[in-house]
Every structure is written in C-alpha cells, then in structure tokens.
Amino acid sequence: MPFSRGRKQATSKLPHLRGKGPAMENALHKQEEGTQVKRSPSSPQGAPKKRSAFVDITNASKGLPTQNKKKKNEANLKKMSVANNGKKQALCSHIYSMEQLIVILTSRSGSITPEEKPEKPQEKKAIEKEAVKPQVEEQCSQIPEEFDIDKDHLQDSFMTAEYAKDIFDYLKAREEKFILQNYMDKQPDLNREMRSILVDWMVEVQENFELNHETLYLAVKLADHYLSHTVSARETLQLIGSTTMLIASKFEERCPPCVDDFLYICDDAYKREELIAMEMDVLQTLKFDINIPVAYRFLRRYAKCVQADMETLTLARYICELTLQELEFVPERASQLASACLLLALHMKDLGGWTPILQYHTGYTLADLVPLVKRLNFLLTYPTDDKLKSVRSKYSHKVFFEVAKIKTLDMMQLHEALC
C-alpha cells in the first residue's frame, strides 16, 4: 500500500512577462498604475485618504460651497432632534400623569390601593430573574462539590463548564446507537489483517497532514460502520480509508485537506470522481449521522478527574490508539475503553487505582474494567503483528515522551494491583 510522500508544491499562477515587448510592458505598467488607490497630497506618509461611511464616498476635493451646505444640514438636523426630544418628553410626561390618574381613581373606588401599583416591565424582569436564579443554583448543586471538576473554569466561556457534564452524559448515551459486532464474517474479500494495515496507513496520514487525533478516531469509526453495512472488495479498501479521513477532516478540522491531497496520498490509484462517489455512498449509508462518540474525547475528560500529567495522559492515548488496529476491540464502548486505558496507565506509572471521582464521572466500577484492562496489557506485552509499526514508532518520539518504551506490567503483578 503506498505511503504519503508529502504534499504537492503549489504552482505560481502569476503572469510571465519574459519575452514580451517594451510596448506590452509599458501597457501593463500603466494598467497597474490605474488600479492603485489615489492618495491625497496632504495625507501623512502617503497613506490612503480616510473616508467616513455614508458621508463622503468619493475622492472629490471639498470646496467652500460644499462646506456651507454641510453646515446648513447640520443645523437642520439639530433643530429636528431638539423638536423630537421635546415631543418625547411631552409624551412621557403625559403617560406618567395618566398612570397617576388611574392609580388615584382606582384607589378611591377601593379596587386597587396605591401600594398595589402595577409593576413596571423592568421590575417584572428583575422578579423573574430572582425566581430563575434558585433553579440554576439547584441544577449546579446536583454535582457533589468534591466531584465537580469544572468549578475552576466557570469564568472561561470556551470551556463550557456549565454544560460539560451534560455533554459527556449525552455522548455516553449515544454509544448505544453505534455498538458494532465483528462484521468481518460478512466480507468475503477482506480479513482482519487487511483492516489492520489500513488503520496503520491512516495513522501515517494523520501524522503527515498533522490532523487532530479526533479526526483519526472518527475516520476509523466511519470505516468500520460503513464496512458493517456494505460488502467491499480489497481494491477499494484504501479508497474507503482515504474517504473516511476526508469526511472526518471536514467534521473535525478547521482547515481540512482538499480532495487532491487524498488522491495524492493514494499515489493517484483512484480518480477524483471515484472519491467523491465514495464520499456520497458513505454518507448515505450512515444516513449522515457521523457524530460518533470516540474514546479520545472521553480519555481527556477522565484524565482531568485525577489531574493526570501530560506524560500519563499520553501513555493512555498510546494504549488507546493501539486498539484502533485490533478488530477485537471494535465492539467495545468508547467510554469504557477510555476508562480502561486510563486505569492501566495509572498502574503503569504507579499513580494509584480507580477512585470514587472516576467512578462518578465514568459510571464504571473497578469490576467493570478489570477484564478489559487485562486484555489491554496483553496487547502491550504481546503485539499481534510486528509489521504494524506506525503507532509504536509515533509514540517512541520525544514529543510523546517516548511512552512506547515504558516497561509493561507483568500479568500477575497487574492482577494483584487490580484486586
């Protein structure tokens, strides 16, 4: 399978003037001079002349008649504003006197006392805010104070601390919709080794394009869900992988790579029309529901519960990314997989075990995670395929604290630590 060799160099689209005659060069020079902004001789340092919006939209010089006309217009505007203010004041005083009259008349009749004067709109809004405030405080107080990991970020609007717990509870509830089983039995032309090679190649694509890790996780999820619904040939497997990377990039990235970039990384094995047709097929097959919860998001959230340092979080990310290549971890829930990866990383760094705050935010007990943690440790100790080196070489770099070189735990030692 071809590997990425970087992006194509952009070619210049500027006009080439070599070989043109002097007449052509002079004409182009005059045309460029005609397109330049006219500058006022009185402007400092030759800067463009400043113009106020909707007042002076031309570069014409202002003469004396224009100034006199402008002064007359300003005087007329002042007279109109004074007259309007007088009308408004008279109208407001009239309304206020009528309000007083109504209160006096009704108080004499005994229906309403002066103390029961109707509330003004501003006073009514203030009363409504005071009534809503206890409800908001009651919602915030639902999270125990010792388990509130977002209280320090309430003033930061980018952290959405008020809704963080609700957002991850919603993502966890959506996992029910995206549970997969072993779909490879339905693929007569594919096997698990081919899928592992594809994911290994997608990791390289994510590195070469410097994409977010969420993009990689989502792309693998999209490929798995598409293959669970559609029978595909091995010749189209790389096309499926590059297409899901394109879709995930559009969903996650601020500046996603273009179609030509993904055609290039496939060594031009596919045409542009084929990739666009595959994109339509994937989206229609998944019914455009591509907001699939991924383990990487849960992992960052759960690491915040124990205030894990960056090296511990990176170790948990390394374990989690290794599972992308293994078909046996496809049926696992993203939140449970993230919890197990974090627990194994905590034991490998000797930072403790499963705490009550982790149980509160994840919803999993230690007994729920023990079997999965043991499988993850076995994957670290005994790799299934030595040829798949993208993830291990990636996390052997100093940028990722060389976490791939950390010594794994003995199975008996891990069993004693979990018990």
> What is the C-alpha to C-alpha distance for residues 326 and 378, in angstroms, rounded to an integer?
12
Say which range, 35-39, 177-181, 355-359, has the weakest mean pLDDT: 35-39
Which of 260, 286, 312 lies at the terminal end of a domain, its last residue? 286
Cα–Cα distance, 137 to 34 (Å, whole number): 65
- Print the domain residue range for 224: 184-286
Report the C-alpha gap between 296 and 274 in whole angstroms.
Answer: 31
| Residue 70: inside a domain | no
For residue 56, the Cα-to-chain-centroid distance in whole angstroms is 43
225 and 299 assigned to the same domain: no
**What are the distances in angstroms from CA 363 to CA 178, 317, 352, 354, 412?**
18, 20, 18, 12, 27
Q: How far is CA 86 from the centre of its chain?
A: 53
CB 4 within 8 A of CB 211: no
With respect to residue 11, please indicate whether it lies within any of the assigned structural domains.
no
The contacts of residue 329 (CB under 8 Å, 6+ apart) are 323, 337, 375
Q: Same domain, yes or no, for 302 and 381?
A: yes
* Angle, alpha carbons 154-158-161 (nearest 5°): 35
Would 279 be classed as within a structural domain?
yes
Quick: pLDDT tens for 245-299.
999 999 999 999 999 999 999 999 999 999 999 999 999 999 999 999 999 999 9
pLDDT of residue 153: 75
Q: Alpha-carbon distance 44 to 46, whole Å?
A: 5
Among 223, 254, 286, give the residue marking a domain's end: 286
Please state the pTM of the whole predicted model. 0.68
274-277 long-range CB contacts below 8 Å, 24 or more apart?
Answer: 274/239, 275/239, 275/242, 275/243, 275/246
Q: Which helix (H) or strand (E) holds 278?
A: helix 272-285
Same domain, 325 and 413: yes
Same domain, 239 and 190: yes
Region for residue 6 given its phi and psi (left: phi exceeds 0; alpha: psi -120 to 50; beta: otherwise): left
- Residues 256, 345: one domain? no
Q: Are 149 and 305 a contacting pair, CB within 8 Å?
A: yes
**Does any domain span residue 225?**
yes
d(CA 293, CA 380): 24
Distance CA 407, CA 220 (A): 28
Q: Are residues 403 and 325 in the same domain?
A: yes
Question: Are 258 and 335 within one domain?
Answer: no
Q: Are residues 307 and 278 in the same domain?
A: no
| Domain-embedded: residue 227 | yes
Domain boundary among 286, 319, 353: 286
- Looking at the structure, do residues 277 and 345 belong to the same domain, yes or no? no
Does residue 1 lie in a domain region?
no
Contact 103, 95 (CB under 8 A): no
**Is the Cβ–Cβ distance between 346 and 352 less than 8 Å?**
yes
Question: Is a pLDDT exceeding 50 seen at residue 346?
Answer: yes
Cα separation, 356 vs 341, in Å, equals 17
Does residue 216 register a pLDDT over 70?
yes
| Per-residue pLDDT at 123 exceeds 80 | no
Residue range 144-161: average pLDDT?
A: 81
- Give domain status of residue 95, yes or no: no
Contact in structure between 362 and 372 (CB atoms under 8 Å): no
- Tokens for 201, please give them: 């190649």
Query: Do 410 and 361 have their domain in common?
Result: yes
Residue 150 near residue 164, CB atoms below 8 Å: yes
CATH code for the domain of 278: 1.10.472.10
Instruction: Please identify which residue in the block is written with the tokens 């991924």.
Output: 294
Inside any domain, residue 301: yes
Same-domain status, 409 and 348? yes
Query: How many structural domains comprise the chain?
Result: 2
Residues 193 and 305 in one domain: no
Dump pLDDT digits (tens) for 352-374. Answer: 999 999 999 999 999 999 999 99
